[in-house]
Structure formats: structure tokens, C-alpha cells
């Protein structure tokens, strides 16, 4: 009984701290007297949010960014999982690929994002590739770790039962490395949001990054706030989806 009350109390505490932050923000605006284009009040942001919602621009741009994030995530995760599996299985491949893998991690994505936009245009494709690239490395590392951590004794079991390669992949390696794979997806999901925004800030005609930059240019700071909050909401929802997946597939774990 007691831990349960404590748990619900701490949940309320989280909501309470957010609720307290809004009046505090309001107070700061009132006392400092900063103009709206430097620090808009919560009311300004809320009004701007409703307006952007009504004229459809917010959902349109958020939709574009979400598509970039999801496609980039799918592309990055699939590619990283396949390469990661191959690297985990083959020592020579690991040695041959590791300079590229380390280098790809060492180059800040912000530095090559402009290049990708030049090469691939200012549409969805360049953002998708940036997302995929930023997601690639952490997912790859997790895949390698996950596949290598499959207990050798379970391989013996499968081989004693004359399991085929595909059976070993789908009935042993995949489920055994799933906790680590989903851990990689969790990191990838948040990184993918960053990738999409980086790409859009370089050059874009649509998306939340575009909206953010537009607000910036027009001194419509409330719009910038709306775009930022929308991004946070996207990132949290993605994180939530991964958490749901973990709950569904990893219920055997404590």
C-alpha cells in the first residue's frame, strides 16, 4: 500500500512541477518587461499555438518532420541492424569496416548536413539521410553487442537440435538480443528527431525546423516556442512508443 501511494505521489509531483513552471514563466515575463519578440508569455505562445493549429500550418509541418524522422529511423535502424549483425558475425569484416564506422561517428552530423543538402536537395530525402546517419552508429553498436552476447550454450542447444541458420536467427539471436536492440532503438528515436531538425535548419521549405526558422526571421518568437514544444512532443511520443514495445516484448525481464 505504502509504496503505491508514494508512486502516485511522485507522479503528481512531476505534473505539479510542470504546472508551477508556467506561472513562474509568466511572472518572469511580467517582472522583466521583456518585449514579446524576445520572451513571449505562456499566453502568447498558447494563442500562437491555437492559431497555427487552426490555419493547419502546425500539423502540416509537424507531419512533414514526423515523416522524415520515421523514414530516417526505419532506414537507419534497418541498415545498422544488418551491418551490425554481419560485423558481429565476422571478425575480418569488423576489422575492414571499423575505420569507417569510427570515422562516421567522429564527424559531427552538423558539419556534413550542408553537404548532404547540396547533394540531395532541400526536400525530404536529404533530411531522411541525415536522420538515418545519426541513428546508424548507436544502433549498430547495440546490434553488435546484442548479437555477441547471445549465450554460446544456446547455440549448442540449437545445433544439437539441427536448427537451420534462419531458425537460429529468428528463434535464438533475434529474441536473445532484443533487449539491447530495443535499447538502441530508444537512443535512435531521440537522435532521429535531432537529425531531422538539423537537416531542416540547413535548408528546407517545410517541416518544424523550417517553421522555427521562419518564426526566427519574422521575430515571431511565439512561433519558435510552439515549434520547439511540438518537437518535444514528437520526441516524447517516439520514446513512449519504444517503451511500449519494450513492455510488450520484454515482459519476461524483471
Partner 1 sequence: MTIKPILSVKNLSVTFPDNNGGLDALGELSFEIRPREFICFLGPSGSGKTTLLRALAGLVQPSTGSVNFMYHHHEPKIGMVFQQSNLMPWRTVMENIQLSMELDGAGEVKAQNKAREMVKLMGLKGFENSFPRDLSGGMAQRVAIARALIHDPDLLLLDEPFASLDALTRERMWTELSNIWQEKKKTVVMVTHSINESLFLADRVMVLTKRPGRIKMDVEVDLPRPRPDDIRYTSHFGKLAKKLRAAIE
CB of 183 to partner 1, least distance (A): 15
CB of 246 to partner 1, least distance (A): 13
CB of 176 to partner 1, least distance (A): 7
Query: 160, 165, 205, 248: which one contacts partner 1 (CB under 8 A)?
Result: 160
Of 65-73, 100-108, 133-141, 167-175, the segment contacting partner 1 by CB under 8 A is 167-175
63 HSE (CA, 13 A, CB side): 6
Alpha helix ranges (H) inside the chain? 2-32, 42-54, 57-89, 91-106, 109-120, 124-148, 152-160, 165-168, 174-202, 208-217, 221-249
Q: Which is nearer to partner 1, 174 or 214 (CB)?
A: 174
Query: 161, 217, 247, 248: which one contacts partner 1 (CB under 8 A)?
Result: 161
Q: How many CB atoms lie within 10 A of CB 59?
A: 13
Determine if 55 is a binding residue for partner 1 (CB under 8 A): no
DSSP 175-224: HHHHHHHHHHHHHHHHHHHHHHHHHHHHS-SSSHHHHHHHHHHTT-HHHH
Alpha carbons 212 and 202: distance in angstroms, whole number: 12
Range 177-236, binding partner 1 (CB under 8 A): 178
CB of 157 to partner 1, least distance (A): 6
Alpha carbons 199 and 222: distance in angstroms, whole number: 22
Q: Which is nearer to partner 1, 102 or 157 (CB)?
A: 157
Alpha carbons 137 and 235: distance in angstroms, whole number: 19
Q: Which is nearer to partner 1, 5 or 160 (CB)?
A: 160
The count of residues interacting with partner 1 (CB under 8 A) is 21
> Which residues are at the interface with partner 1 (CB under 8 A)?
151, 153-154, 156-163, 167, 171-172, 175-176, 178, 250, 252-254
Amino acid at each position: 500500500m505504502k509504496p503505491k501511494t508514494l508512486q502516485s505521489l511522485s507522479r503528481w509531483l512531476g505534473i505539479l512541477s510542470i504546472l508551477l513552471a508556467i506561472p513562474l514563466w509568466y511572472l518572469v515575463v511580467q517582472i522583466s518587461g521583456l518585449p514579446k519578440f524576445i520572451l513571449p508569455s505562456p499566453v502568447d505562445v498558447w494563442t500562437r499555438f491555437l492559431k497555427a493549429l487552426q490555419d493547419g500550418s502546425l500539423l502540416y509541418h509537424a507531419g512533414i518532420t514526423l515523416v522524415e524522422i520515421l523514414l530516417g529511423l526505419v532506414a537507419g535502424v534497418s541498415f545498422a541492424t544488418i551491418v551490425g549483425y554481419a560485423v558481429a558475425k565476422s571478425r575480418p569484416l569488423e576489422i575492414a569496416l571499423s575505420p569507417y564506422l569510427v570515422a562516421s561517428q567522429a564527424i559531427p552530423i552538423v558539419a556534413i548536413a550542408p553537404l548532404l543538402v547540396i547533394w540531395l536537395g532541400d526536400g525530404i530525402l536529404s533530411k531522411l539521410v541525415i536522420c538515418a546517419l545519426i541513428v546508424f552508429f548507436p544502433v549498430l553498436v547495440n546490434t553488435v553487442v546484442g548479437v555477441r552476447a547471445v549465450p554460446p550454450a544456446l547455440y549448442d542447444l540449437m545445433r544439437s537440435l539441427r536448427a537451420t541458420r534462419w531458425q537460429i536467427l529468428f528463434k535464438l539471436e533475434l529474441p536473445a538480443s532484443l533487449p539491447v536492440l530495443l535499447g538502441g532503438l530508444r537512443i535512435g528515436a531521440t537522435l532521429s528527431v535531432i537529425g531531422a531538425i538539423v537537416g531542416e535548419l540547413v535548408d528546407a521549405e517545410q517541416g518544424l525546423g523550417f517553421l522555427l526558422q521562419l518564426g526566427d526571421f519574422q521575430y515571431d518568437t511565439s512561433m519558435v516556442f510552439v515549434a520547439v514544444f511540438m518537437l518535444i512532443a514528437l520526441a516524447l511520443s517516439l520514446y513512449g512508443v519504444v517503451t511500449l514495445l519494450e513492455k510488450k516484448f520484454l515482459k519476461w525481464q524483471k
